Amino acid sequence: MTAARKPLIGIVAHPNQEGPEEVNSRYLGRKDDVGAILRAGGLPVMLVPVYDEESWAEAFARVDGIMLTGGWDMGPEAMGLVSHLKIENPNALRDQADLTAARMALALNKPLLAICRGAQVLNVAAGGTLVVDIPSEVPGALKHRRVPGEGDVFQNHAVTLAEGSLIADIMGSLEILSNSFHHQAVKEPGLGLRVSARTADGVIEAIEHPQMRFCLGLQWHPEEHSVPQTNMQPIFERFLQAASGG
C-alpha cells in the first residue's frame, strides 16, 4: 500500500535583515516554523522571492498550504502610510513577497496560516489596517513584548477566543494563555476577515476568514514552546488537515 502523500507547505522565506551587506543577501527560514510543520506531518519547503511573476505563481500553485511567519515591521508604503517614527527595521522586498503570498492564498482559497507579522500582512492584503504601535496608540495597553532588560523574550498573557470561531474550536476553549512579542496589531479587519481573539486591553490577537478552507492569522507564536501550559500543536495539525483536503 502506498503511503498517503504528505502535504507540501510553502513557508515564505525572508531576507536576513541583520549584519553586513553580504549576510543581508541571504534568505532565511526559522527552525521552529519548519519543526512545527514536520511534527504535524507536513513537508515544509521555502518559497524564496526571487522568481519572475509566472514562476512565483507556479510555486504557489504547487504547494498545498502557505505559511507566513513572524519578523520585523511592515514598511510604511506597504501599509499605505507616508512614514511613521515607530516602524522598526522594514524591508520592502519581504513586504512584497509576503503580501503577494497572502493575496494568492486568498484568491486561490489556499490554506493559509499567518503568524505574528504574518497576521498583520494577511490583514493588509485583505484591505485592513494596523495599529502601528500599541504602547502609544492603545490606552491602558498590556505589555505585548519584552521591555529591554526585563528578562525573557516573550510576555505571557490571557487571550479570549470568540465563541464559534475556528481558533476556539481548535483549542477547545474560550480562553488560553499565549506568548506575546509584538508592538503592532490588526486595527480594522480586511474584507472577509473577522476578529476571533482579543486580549483584555482590546488588542486583536486572531483573525480568520470563515469562507476559506483554512485562513487563520495569529498574533502570538504557536511555534514557540514558551507557554508550556498551552499546547499549540493542534493549530498546525488542523492547518495540515486542511492542506490535505480534509
CA distances from 52 to 13, 58, 97 (A): 16, 10, 12
Closest listed residue to residue 233, CA positions, set 221, 243, 244:
221
Question: CA dihedral in degrees (210, 7, 94, 129; nearest 10)?
Answer: 10
Contact yes or no for 41/92 (Cβ under 8 A): no
Catalytic residue selected from 116, 157, 183, 224:
116
Catalytic residue selected from 205, 208, 223, 224:
223
Catalytic residue selected from 182, 183, 209, 221:
221
Contact yes or no for 140/120 (Cβ under 8 A): no
Q: Which cell goes with 113?
A: 496560516
Q: Is 14 a catalytic residue?
A: no
Q: Which cell goes with 167?
A: 481558533
Closest listed residue to residue 96, CA positions, set 121, 117, 132:
121
Q: Is 209 a catalytic residue?
A: no
Q: Are strands 65-68 and 43-47 parallel, antiparallel or unpaired?
A: unpaired
Q: Is 182 a catalytic residue?
A: no
Contact yes or no for 32/223 (Cβ under 8 A): yes
Q: Report the alpha-carbon angle 121-76-214, nearest 5.
A: 5
Which residues are catalytic, by number?
A: 116, 221, 223
